[in-house]
């Protein structure tokens, strides 16, 4: 009996073993089919990519490979026309590139830069120099400067009498900037600090070539050794104003799309053609996602561009992309979101130099930190030149910058690396307390009212040090001495990238500009149909 049971157990064990063997064998036999499918899919993708490479240049720059999800769950790369992307295709591409903006933006920019570096394409860099720059104007001061009806009437009468020499002008000469010199270098984040009325806005406008005509300017501003009259500074750089001026009837996406359409694509198309040509010669297959993004953002004349979706995402505006901007009479987005829209209008363009004036107004410290962090990634990876003016940046935001320009009463008190700014003021006898933000300290240490609390030389009596004395002391500081040596050496104009400075007045043709403006006006007419109807003749 025991032997029968033992035999039966052996048979059952053998049958189980054979079942397991068959199951494993069947599973093993199924595996090669999977690998064959994968290999076939890769071979099919290679054939599709080879077909794109054989297309003429004009067609090749519009076709790319995008990942598509099949009905059975498989992911394959399929050929698409990147100038006719649907909304869901754009969303899918942006989600694949920037799943989590905080983590993926730097990786994405590095992937973009790696493509050009791999084939040896040089990215344009711009260095901005300003030497002995002074700006002054005539203005009414005191109560006479108030915009009252009496003052406006009196000013108009005096202006007319002054033209015929019957009444001397009551305006006074106001010096806004006084003999400032320095260098703004590419690939370095520069923070412009200064108390109110220190001349920050005028300084940024002077560097961008957008000063008012009634101001008197001496000194010179150069981009890579070229003066502002030798190129078109308004298209080479982008000045972002602290005032938000938008059409309230347009949505956030429509506002950025119109701005990008008018600004054009710059040299993106030419650089993409050259990169594609070199990759074809060297047998390099580009990253399909990066190739699709670059091609989608390099074609001019599109009503909507993928660069808009990218800017919306990094500025945190994707949640309100289809909401009207709004104005005093129409409810829309918040004030902080409007400020980000103002910034985004310039980021969608091809500029390589950015001057940003108080872009953090209405934003909380966390949002400001994230935006400045993305700007820093752009500056360091894409070799952009950027100056950002902030009023009271948080310590974490302050630490993101590489260089500091401290402006007070129209004079530069300090310009140089952020790490050396406290060293200069300790040399002058002022020390920042441990629990005090460095940015707040820098804006208060030149004030006559707040300066004494930072004096740390207890063995010496405190004496007020004026802004002029600070500026003269900085001229003998080792940071300025090195800066002066760099300024004495002329910029090598022969090394300037041919695409660095823009010499064309418009980014698109007159016809494309007409179509863009007509499309916008037609949209505004439809949004204000009741007002438009009321103005029709009857």
For 405-417, what is each residue's pLDDT tens digit? 999 999 999 999 9
Confidence of residue 52 (pLDDT cuts 50, 70, 90): confident
How far apart (Å, rounded) are the C-alpha atoms in residues 318 and 101?
Answer: 12
pLDDT reading at 154 higher than 60: yes
What pLDDT score does 68 carry? Answer: 64
Instruction: Tell me the whole-structure pTM to 2 decimals.
Output: 0.84
**Residues in CB range of 105: below 8 A, 6 or more apart:** 98, 314, 374, 377
* CATH class of the domain defined by 123-160+169-265+300-493+501-522: alpha beta
Boundaries of every domain in the chain: 123-160+169-265+300-493+501-522
**Residues in CB range of 284: below 8 A, 6 or more apart:** 118, 119, 278
Q: Is 464 exposed, middle or buried (0-12, 13-18, 19+ CB in 10 A)?
A: exposed
Percent of the chain whose predicted confidence (pLDDT) is above 70:
89
Mean pLDDT of 499-521: 90
Mean pLDDT of 375-384: 93
pLDDT reading at 59 higher than 90: no
Confidence of residue 1 (pLDDT cuts 50, 70, 90): very low
pLDDT digits (tens, 9 = 90+) for 80-127: 777 788 888 888 888 888 888 888 889 999 999 999 999 888 889 999
Q: Mean pLDDT in the chain? A: 84
pLDDT digits (tens, 9 = 90+) for 445-464: 998 888 889 998 888 888 89
Confidence of residue 72 (pLDDT cuts 50, 70, 90): low
pLDDT reading at 14 higher than 50: no
pLDDT digits (tens, 9 = 90+) for 306-340: 899 999 999 989 899 899 998 888 888 988 899 99
What pLDDT score does 134 carry? Answer: 93
Confidence of residue 2 (pLDDT cuts 50, 70, 90): very low
Residue 205, CA distances (Å) to 112, 201, 211, 213 in order? 31, 6, 5, 12
How far apart (Å, rounded) are the C-alpha atoms in residues 34 and 316?
Answer: 41
Mean pLDDT of 422-437: 90
Confidence of residue 15 (pLDDT cuts 50, 70, 90): very low
DSSP 82: G
Percent of the chain whose predicted confidence (pLDDT) is above 90:
40
In 155-236, at which residue ranges do the beta strands (DSSP E only) sit?
172-184, 189-193, 216-223, 226-227
What pLDDT score does 421 carry? Answer: 92
pLDDT reading at 351 higher than 50: yes
Beta bridge partners of 57: none
pLDDT reading at 483 higher than 90: yes
């Amino acid at each position: 009996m025991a032997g029968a049971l033992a035999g039966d157990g052996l048979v059952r064990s053998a049958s189980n073993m054979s079942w397991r063997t068959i199951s494993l064998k069947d599973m093993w036999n199924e595996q090669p089919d999977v690998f064959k499918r994968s290999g076939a899919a890769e071979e099919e993708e290679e054939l599709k990519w080879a077909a794109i490479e054989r297309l003429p240049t004009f067609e090749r720059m519009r076709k790319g490979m995008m990942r598509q999800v099949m009905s059975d769950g498989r992911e394959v790369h399929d050929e698409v026309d990147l100038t006719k992307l649907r909304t869901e295709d754009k969303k899918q591409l942006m989600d694949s590139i920037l799943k989590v903006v905080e983590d993926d933006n730097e990786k994405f920019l590095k992937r973009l830069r790696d493509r050009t570096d791999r084939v040896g394409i040089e990215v344009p860099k711009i260095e901005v120099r300003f030497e002995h720059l002074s700006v002054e104007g005539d203005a009414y001061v005191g109560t006479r400067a108030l915009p009252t009806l009496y003052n406006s009437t009196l000013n108009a009468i005096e202006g007319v009498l002054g033209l015929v020499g019957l009444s001397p002008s009551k305006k006074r000469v106001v010096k806004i900037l006084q003999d400032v010199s320095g260098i703004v270098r590419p690939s370095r984040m520069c923070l412009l600090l200064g108390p109110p009325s220190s001349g920050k806005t005028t300084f940024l406008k002077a560097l961008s070539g957008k000063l008012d005509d009634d101001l008197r300017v001496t000194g010179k501003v150069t981009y890579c050794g070229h003066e502002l009259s030798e190129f078109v500074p308004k298209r080479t750089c982008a000045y972002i104003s602290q005032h938000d001026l938008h059409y309230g009837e347009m949505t956030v996406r429509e506002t950025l799309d119109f701005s990008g359409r008018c600004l054009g694509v710059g040299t993106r198309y030419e650089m993409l053609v050259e990169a594609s040509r070199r990759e074809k010669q060297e047998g390099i297959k580009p990253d399909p996602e990066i190739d699709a993004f670059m091609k989608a953002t390099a074609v001019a004349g599109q009503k909507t561009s993928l660069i808009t979706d990218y800017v919306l995402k990094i500025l945190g505006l994707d949640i309100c992309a289809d909401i009207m901007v709004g104005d005093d009479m129409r409810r829309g987005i918040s004030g902080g979101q409007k400020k980000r829209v103002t910034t985004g209008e310039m980021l969608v363009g091809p500029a390589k130099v950015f001057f940003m004036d108080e872009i953090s107004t209405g934003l909380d410290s966390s949002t400001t930190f994230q935006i400045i962090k993305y700007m820093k990634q752009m500056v360091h990876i894409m070799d952009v030149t950027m100056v950002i003016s902030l009023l009271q940046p948080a310590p974490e935001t302050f630490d993101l910058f590489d260089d500091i320009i401290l402006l007070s009463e129209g004079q530069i008190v300090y310009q140089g690396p952020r790490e050396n700014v406290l060293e200069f003021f300790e040399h002058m006898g002022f020390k920042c307390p441990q629990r005090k933000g460095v940015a707040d300290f820098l804006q208060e240490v030149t004030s006559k009212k707040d300066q004494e609390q930072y004096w740390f030389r207890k063995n010496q009596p405190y004496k007020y040090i004026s802004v002029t004395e600070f500026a003269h002391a900085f001229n003998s500081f080792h940071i300025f001495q090195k800066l002066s040596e760099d300024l004495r050496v002329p910029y090598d104009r022969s090394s300037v990238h041919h695409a660095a400075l823009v010499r064309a007045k418009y980014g698109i043709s007159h016809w494309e500009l007409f179509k863009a403006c007509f499309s916008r006006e037609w949209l505004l007419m439809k949004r204000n149909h009741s007002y438009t109807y009321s103005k029709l003749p009857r």
